[in-house]
Amino acid sequence: MDTVSGPQEQFELITKGLQEVLNPQIIQDVLEKEKRPLKIYWGTAPTGKPHCGYFVPMVKLAHFLKAGCEVTVLLADLHAFLDNMKASLEVVQYRAKYYEFVVKAILRSINVPIDKLKFVVGSSYQQSAPYIMDLFKLSNIVSQNSAKKAGADVVKQVANPLLSGLIYPLMQAIDEEHLGVDAQFGGVDQRKIFVLAEENLPSIGHRKRAHLMNPMVPGLGQGGKMSASDPNSKIDIIEEPKIVKKKINSAYCAPGDINNGLIAFLEYVVQPIHELKTGKDGSFELIIERPEKYGGRITYDSLDQLKKDYEENKLAAPDLKTGVADKINELLAPIRADFEKDEEFQSVQKNGYPVEAPKQEKKVKKVKNKGTGYPGKSSSPADATSEAATATATATADLATVEDKLDGVKLV
C-alpha cells in the first residue's frame, strides 16, 4: 500500500469519512509546521466478541497508515475489567490476545500491511506510579457527575453502578499522555470522553489532543448500533457462512427504505474496502446472484445507483440481502481461514469466551402413588370418594366396638 505525500493530502486522508474532528488544527500543525508523522491511537476494550462493525475502524487505520501516521492499537484490558463485565483479569487477558489476532487478521484480509502497527496492552503501563498519580490528580478535579456523564455512552449502564464506571473515562483521557500521541481515534459514541480529556488534561499539566470520530454503523435490527452485547444486531468476525445468511435474512430491511444496517454496511465497509484495493475513490462493486427465472445476476458498480434502485423498489429486499450476505462471507472467508489454521488463535478464543455449561433444571418431586391396596383397583375420582366413605364407616364401627368393650369398666 503506497503512502500519500504532502500535508494537505495526508490531512484529507486522515479525516476522510469521519463524522467529526475536534481540534483539527493540532493535526495540521503536526503535518505542516512540525513536518513529522502524526501519532495516533485507537483503543478497544476486549469485552464481547469482535463483530463486522470492526471493519469500519480498520478501514480508518488503513487510511492513517497510508497517510504515513504512526498508529498504536491499545488493547485496553483494564478498561474491559472495569466495564462491569464481571470477567476475571485472566479471562480479559485472553480476550485482549484474541482481539489482537482479529485486528491483524482483518487488516491482512483487506491488504493492509501490519508491520508498522504498534500493539500495546493497557496493563503494561497503566499500573505505573506516574500513571496512577495522574489518575489521582484527574480524580481531584473531575466531579462524579462529569465522569458518569462522560462514560454514559461507552460504559455498561446498570441500575446500581460501580465506582469502576467513573474511573474508566478518566483512564481513557490519561492514556493520550502516556501513549505519547497527538490524536485519539474512536467512534462518535466516545465524544463525551474526548471532551472530558480536552477540558481537563491541561489542568494536570498535559497538552490537548485532537480527536477523530467515526460514525456508528447501525445494527441488523431496527435502530441502534451494531453491538457486541446484542447477538441479534451483529455478525461475529468468525461467524459460519450459514449463520451469516440466516442473520442477514432476518435483518430489518423495509422495501424502499435505505436507512437500514445492510445499506450502511455497504457504505461504511464494502465501498471503502473496494476503494483501498483499487486505489480509486468512489469505486464500488456488489454482485447479486439470482436464478435466471427471477432475472439472473445483478452487478452494481455504483453505491448511489444501488440506493436509488432500492428507494424506487427496482431492487427487492430479498435480493439486497442475498448480495450483502455473500459479500460479508467473502470478507470473512480469509479471517475464518486464519482462525482455523492457527491453534493459538483458537485457544485464546476458547479461553477468553468459555462456553457456559447449560443449567440443569431442578427436578420436580413426583407425588408418590401409594396404590389402592390390591392390583387392578381403579383410581378414578368416584372410586376415591367411595374409598373415603368406606374408610370412614369402618372407623366408626371400630369406635363403637371399643366403646362396647369399655362399657362397665370402672375407671380409677
Domain of residue 339, CATH code: 1.10.240.10
Note whether 204 and 118 are same-domain residues.
yes
In a domain, 366, yes or no: no
Residue 392 lies in a domain: no
Give me the number of domains the chain comprises: 2
Within a domain: 227: no
184 and 263 both lie in a single domain: no
51 belongs to a structural domain: yes
Q: Give the count of alpha carbons within 13 A of 396, CB side only.
A: 6
The residue out of 332, 352, 372 marking a domain boundary is: 352
Identify whether 65 is part of a domain.
yes
Residue 372 within a domain? no
The whole model's pTM is what?
A: 0.81
- Same domain, residue pair 39 and 102: yes
97 & 246 share domain: no
Range of the domain at 31: 7-214
> Which residues have CB under 8 Å from 349's CB, separation 6+?
98, 101, 238, 339
The tens-digit pLDDT sequence of the chain (412 residues) is: 677 779 999 999 999 999 999 999 999 999 999 999 999 999 999 988 999 999 999 999 999 999 999 999 999 999 999 886 667 889 999 999 999 999 999 999 998 888 889 999 999 999 999 999 999 999 999 999 999 999 888 887 777 878 888 999 999 999 999 999 999 999 999 999 999 999 999 999 999 999 999 998 887 876 555 555 556 668 999 999 999 999 999 999 999 999 999 999 999 999 999 999 898 999 999 999 999 988 899 999 999 999 999 999 999 999 999 999 999 999 999 999 999 999 999 999 999 998 866 656 566 666 666 555 555 555 555 455 555 555 555 555 554 444 444 444 443 3
In this structure, how many other beta carbons lie within 10 angstroms of the beta carbon of residue 100? 19
User: Are 57 and 172 found together in one domain?
Assistant: yes
Do 83 and 124 fall into the same domain? yes
CATH of the domain at 185: 3.40.50.620
Give the end-to-end CA distance of the chain in Å, rounded to a whole number: 116
Task: Determine the pLDDT at residue 361.
Answer: 59
**Are 105 and 171 in the same domain?**
yes
pLDDT at residue 410 in the model = 40
Alpha helices in 48-163 (DSSP H): 55-66, 77-82, 89-109, 129-139, 144-150
What is the rounded CA–CA span in Å between residue 402 and residue 406?
Answer: 6
Q: Are residues 163 and 257 in the same domain?
A: no
Answer whether residue 302 is part of any domain: yes
Is the Cα dihedral 213, 219, 224, 230 positive or negative?
negative
Check residue 372 and give its pLDDT: 54
> Are 197 and 173 a contacting pair, CB within 8 Å?
yes
Q: Are residues 205 and 249 in the same domain?
A: no
**21 and 62 together in one domain:** yes
Instruction: Check whether residue 210 and residue 254 sit in a common domain.
Output: no
Same domain, 24 and 108: yes
Instruction: Establish if 233 belongs to a structural domain.
Output: no
Identify the burial level of 316 via C-beta atoms within 10 angstroms of its C-beta, where 0-12 means exposed, 13-18 middle and 19 or more buried.
middle
